């Protein structure tokens, strides 16, 4: 029996992480997912295995995971939790894909750098840079062996100067450069850092508290682009999810 | 293997020809001849002189529905195709700023609130892009009241519903305009008739343009009336040529053709995809728009012209500034 490939996805209980978990489950991956909110994580794992989308007929795309889904509540900034994630992936056969998706916005509402609480800044760097780098270090031996890949979720705030986004943006810029160097160092592993664009997620809502963000696309809208990156094993580098949408994708105007 | 090229944005028709030039017939017409392996360039108004008395043009009389509806939760629904059991194939689109892109989500049993108190129940995923869905009210009257024409973003502003109907349009049922016959005007039809060229109707309700991408085909409803079948058979027996105005016409007529090319009246849902492998049995020529790279429409064109001729056609079209898409220029593939 051929073992299904194993993906570790951080922040898999909601938002983009959950959408990616679903897409990868449909693509035949076994999953290790984590999240800090245990109840949300359990609920997500339950729908990933049975699927809200389990088709009854005419479904050409399995909506629930065929392989196992292991859900581990915890904080990626905690070394013991990171070790748990790796152990779970090893138990499934070893990770061939790491999706560093979990992140924190930092302070909300977004303060100007002049007033940015340094503790919140430290937290943003801890969760958005140090934790994913540390988890990548931990999984690299498995990823090298599998000829695998690391996918880091980044943001246009890493390269554009948006007022208020100094903490998050600086952290994502650091993560991007870490990816850039990792790609140069690790010839056996693909490293992608992907800007998903503005999405309708909790994190985006925190950035715009009280604002209506329903004009932003749902995370599932961009997952086909991520899947293409993985299935075509595209070269290491920075990508924007919108550019990765499969050929023939037409953009249409929303009805007024 | 298909013709591949990059389509620059400047080669996309951003508005109807009547808005950028003198009328809907004011488009360019490229003619390619398979046996001679020749390409020539004309105006669409030259069409009567490029065909011969005794030729038969088949046109799709399906009218275009205003098939796009805003749903709750930032989603847009594109109604594609009525199914035999009353379900419709629909495409879910997610808001992306003021535009929409394919929505990867949705779940069987999910209900969407649509304007006017209608509810749409997703019953099952049908292809990677399409869902089977059931609306709480009759779909066509609902769309005529609440829908707007599907508009892809290369068309820069909205145009009245009339811009999306061909001169032959009858009963509405298409999600997108069968656009190959859009340049026909009453004047051109009159000149064709005066030259002894016949025009006969059939119907194929065309779905959303998934076939422009590398995607699974899906069924579409079609009708070939008895008189049209007789005219096709008569034309073939008497040495005339059968010219399909549009890829939709090819799909419908080939679905109604027997192995020897004899056409019988037919109606139903067709899943036929015409390729060089299937060939064409009842049709000699094709009038069509310019198609996107790698699309299955290009595969169909390859059933009418050798690949090297098609490659030259598309290179010439790019070089000469032909315009793509439903408001663009046209290409006549002759034997």
Q: What is the pLDDT of residues B7-53, one digit of tens each?
A: 888 888 999 999 999 999 999 999 999 999 999 999 999 999 999 99
Per-residue model confidence (pLDDT) at position A49:
73
Residue of B nearest to A63 (CA): B107
Q: What CA–CA distance (Å, rounded) separates B245 from A145?
A: 56
| This prediction's pTM | 0.67
Q: Is the pLDDT of residue A255 over 90?
A: no
Would you say residue A217 lies in a domain? no
**How many domains does chain A contain in total?**
1
Q: What CA–CA distance (Å, rounded) separates B20 from B291?
A: 21
At residue B115, the 3 state secondary structure works out as: helix
- Give me the mean pLDDT over the B60-76 stretch: 92
Q: What is the DSSP letter of B152?
A: B
* % residues pLDDT > 70 (chain B): 97
Element (H, E) at B125: strand B119-125
Per-residue model confidence (pLDDT) at position B70:
93
Contact criterion met (CB < 8 Å) for A221 and B105? yes
Q: Is the pLDDT of residue A72 over 50?
A: yes
Per-residue model confidence (pLDDT) at position B212:
53
B132: distance to nearest CA of chain A, Å? Answer: 9
Contact criterion met (CB < 8 Å) for B105 and A246? no
Would you say residue A60 lies in a domain? yes
Q: Is the pLDDT of residue A52 over 50?
A: no
Same fold, B9-64+160-334 and B68-146: no
Q: Is the pLDDT of residue B311 over 60?
A: yes
Per-residue model confidence (pLDDT) at position A37:
95
Choosing among B12, B76, B96, B121, which should be mutated to test the A contact, i.e. which has the most A CBs within 10 A? B96
Say which of B106, B126, B213 has its CB closest to residue A58.
B126
Contact criterion met (CB < 8 Å) for B214 and A246? yes
Per-residue model confidence (pLDDT) at position A248:
59
Q: Is the pLDDT of residue B133 over 80?
A: yes
Residue A118 sits at the chain B interface (C-beta within 8 Å): no
Per-residue model confidence (pLDDT) at position A247:
59
Q: Is the pLDDT of residue B91 over 70?
A: yes
A204: distance to nearest CA of chain B, Å? Answer: 14
Choosing among B91, B102, B291, which should be mutated to test the A contact, i.e. which has the most A CBs within 10 A? B102
- Give me the mean pLDDT over the B111-124 stretch: 95
Q: Which residues of chain B neighbour A251 with C-beta distances below 8 Å?
A: 96, 99-101, 152-153
Counting other chains too, the contacts that A210-214 makes at CB distance below 8 Å and 24 or more residues apart are A214/B73, A214/B74, A214/B95
Per-residue model confidence (pLDDT) at position A50:
58
Per-residue model confidence (pLDDT) at position A51:
47
Say which of B76, B105, B110 has its CB closest to residue A255.
B76
A221: distance to nearest CA of chain B, Å? Answer: 5
Q: Is the pLDDT of residue B315 over 50?
A: yes
pLDDT in tens, A192-236: 999 998 888 888 888 888 888 766 777 877 887 898 899 889 999
Count the alpha carbons within 13 Å of B57 in the hemisphere toward its beta carbon. 28
Would you say residue A210 lies in a domain? no
Per-residue model confidence (pLDDT) at position A208:
86
Confidence of residue B97 (pLDDT cuts 50, 70, 90): low
Domain boundaries, chain B: 9-64+160-334, 68-146
CATH top class, domain B9-64+160-334: alpha beta
Selected residues 183-242 of chain B with any CB under 8 Å from a CB in chain A: 209-210, 212-216
Say which of A19, A197, A250 has its CB closest to residue B212.
A250
Element (H, E) at B200: strand B198-204
Q: Which residues of chain B neighbour A216 with C-beta distances below 8 Å?
A: 74, 95
Q: What CA–CA distance (Å, rounded) separates A245 from A255?
A: 22
Q: Is the pLDDT of residue B65 over 90?
A: yes
Q: Is the pLDDT of residue B154 over 90?
A: no
Q: What CA–CA distance (Å, rounded) separates B83 from B197?
A: 35
Give the range among A42-46, A244-248, B86-90, B141-145 with minimum mean pLDDT: A244-248
Residue B93 sits at the chain A interface (C-beta within 8 Å): yes
CB-neighbour burial class of residue B162 (10 A; exposed 0-12, middle 13-18, buried 19+): exposed
Catalytic residues of A: 168
Q: What CA–CA distance (Å, rounded) separates A155 from A16?
A: 12
pLDDT in tens, B202-228: 999 999 985 555 566 789 999 999 999
Q: Is the pLDDT of residue A3 over 80?
A: no
Considering the domain B68-146 in this protein, what is its CATH number?
2.40.10
Q: Is the pLDDT of residue A169 over 50?
A: yes
Q: Is the pLDDT of residue A61 over 50?
A: no
CATH number for the domain that contains residue A164: 3.40.50.720
Residue A250 sits at the chain B interface (C-beta within 8 Å): yes
Would you say residue A25 lies in a domain? yes
Q: What is the DSSP letter of A54?
A: -
Residue B221, token pair as written in the block = 């409803």
Confidence of residue B299 (pLDDT cuts 50, 70, 90): confident
CB-neighbour burial class of residue B110 (10 A; exposed 0-12, middle 13-18, buried 19+): middle
Would you say residue A255 lies in a domain? no
Domain that holds residue A136: 6-197+223-243
- Give me the mean pLDDT over the A40-59 stretch: 62
Residue B232, token pair as written in the block = 């096709």
Residue B108 sits at the chain A interface (C-beta within 8 Å): yes
Contact criterion met (CB < 8 Å) for A253 and B96? no
Q: Are strands B119-125 and B111-113 parallel, antiparallel or unpaired?
A: antiparallel
Residue of A nearest to B107 (CA): A53
Contact criterion met (CB < 8 Å) for A253 and B153? yes
How many helices (H) and strands (E) would you count in chain A?
8, 8
Q: Which residues of chain B neighbour A61 with C-beta distances below 8 Å?
A: 125, 128
Which one, of B308, B316, B278, lies nearest residue B296 by Cα? B278
- Give me the mean pLDDT over the B274-287 stretch: 95
Q: Is the pLDDT of residue B323 over 70?
A: yes
Per-residue model confidence (pLDDT) at position A59:
28
Would you say residue A105 lies in a domain? yes
Q: How many CB pairs under 8 A join A and B?
A: 135
Residue of B nearest to A61 (CA): B128
């Amino acid at each position: 029996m051929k073992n299904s490939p194993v993906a570790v996805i951080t922040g898999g209980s909601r938002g983009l992480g959950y959408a990616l978990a679903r897409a990868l489950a449909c693509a035949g991956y076994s999953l290790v997912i984590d999240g800090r909110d245990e109840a949300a994580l359990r609920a997500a794992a339950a729908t990933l295995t049975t699927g809200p989308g389990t088709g009854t007929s005419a479904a050409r795309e399995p909506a629930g995971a065929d392989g196992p889904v292991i859900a581990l509540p915890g904080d990626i900034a905690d070394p013991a939790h990171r070790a748990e994630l790796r152990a779970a992936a090893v138990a499934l056969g070893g990770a061939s894909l790491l999706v560093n998706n979990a992140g924190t916005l930092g302070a909300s509402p977004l303060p100007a750098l002049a007033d940015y609480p340094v503790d919140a800044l430290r937290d943003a760097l801890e969760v958005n840079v140090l934790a994913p780098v540390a988890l990548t270090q931990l999984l690299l031996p498995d990823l090298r062996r599998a000829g695998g890949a690391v996918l880091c979720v980044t943001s246009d705030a890493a390269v554009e100067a948006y007022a208020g986004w100094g903490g998050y943006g600086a952290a994502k810029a650091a993560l991007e450069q870490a990816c850039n160097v990792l790609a140069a160092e690790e010839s056996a592993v693909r490293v992608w850092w992907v800007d998903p664009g503005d999405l309708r997620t909790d994190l985006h809502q925190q950035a715009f508290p009280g604002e209506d963000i329903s004009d932003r696309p749902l995370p599932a809208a961009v997952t086909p682009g991520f899947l293409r990156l993985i299935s075509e094993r595209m070269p290491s580098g920075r990508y924007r999810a919108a550019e990765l949408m499969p050929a023939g994708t037409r953009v249409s105007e929303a009805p007024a | 293997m298909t013709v591949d090229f990059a389509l620059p944005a400047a080669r996309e028709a951003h508005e109807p020809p009547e808005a950028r030039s003198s009328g809907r017939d004011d488009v360019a017409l490229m003619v390619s001849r398979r046996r001679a392996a020749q390409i020539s360039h004309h105006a669409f108004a030259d069409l009567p002189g490029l065909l011969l008395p005794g030729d038969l043009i088949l046109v799709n009389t399906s009218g275009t529905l205003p098939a796009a509806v805003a749903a709750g939760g930032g989603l847009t629904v594109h109604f594609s195709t009525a199914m035999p059991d009353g379900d419709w194939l629909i495409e879910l689109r997610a808001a992306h700023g003021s535009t929409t892109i394919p929505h990867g989500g949705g779940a069987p049993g999910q209900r969407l609130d649509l304007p006017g108190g209608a509810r749409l129940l997703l019953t099952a995923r049908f292809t990677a892009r399409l869902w089977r869905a059931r609306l709480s009210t009759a779909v066509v009257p609902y769309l005529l009241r609440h829908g707007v024409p599907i508009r892809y973003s290369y068309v820069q502003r909205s145009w009245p519903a009339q811009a999306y109907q061909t001169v032959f349009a009858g009963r509405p049922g298409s999600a997108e305009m069968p656009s190959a016959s859009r340049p026909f005007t009453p004047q051109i039809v009159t000149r064709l008739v005066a030259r002894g060229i016949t025009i006969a109707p059939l119907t194929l309700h065309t779905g959303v343009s998934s076939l422009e991408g590398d995607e699974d085909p899906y069924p579409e409803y079609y009708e070939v009336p008895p008189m049209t079948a007789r005219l096709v058979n008569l034309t073939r027996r008497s040495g005339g040529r059968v010219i399909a105005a549009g890829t939709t016409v090819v799909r419908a007529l080939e679905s109604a053709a027997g192995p020897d090319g004899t056409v019988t009246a037919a109606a139903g849902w067709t899943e036929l995809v015409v390729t060089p492998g299937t060939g064409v049995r009842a049709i000699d020529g094709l009038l069509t728009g310019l198609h996107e790279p790698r699309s299955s429409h290009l595969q169909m064109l390859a059933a009418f012209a050798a690949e090297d001729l098609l490659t030259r056609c598309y290179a010439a079209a790019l070089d000469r500034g032909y315009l793509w898409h439903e408001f663009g220029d046209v290409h006549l593939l002759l034997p």
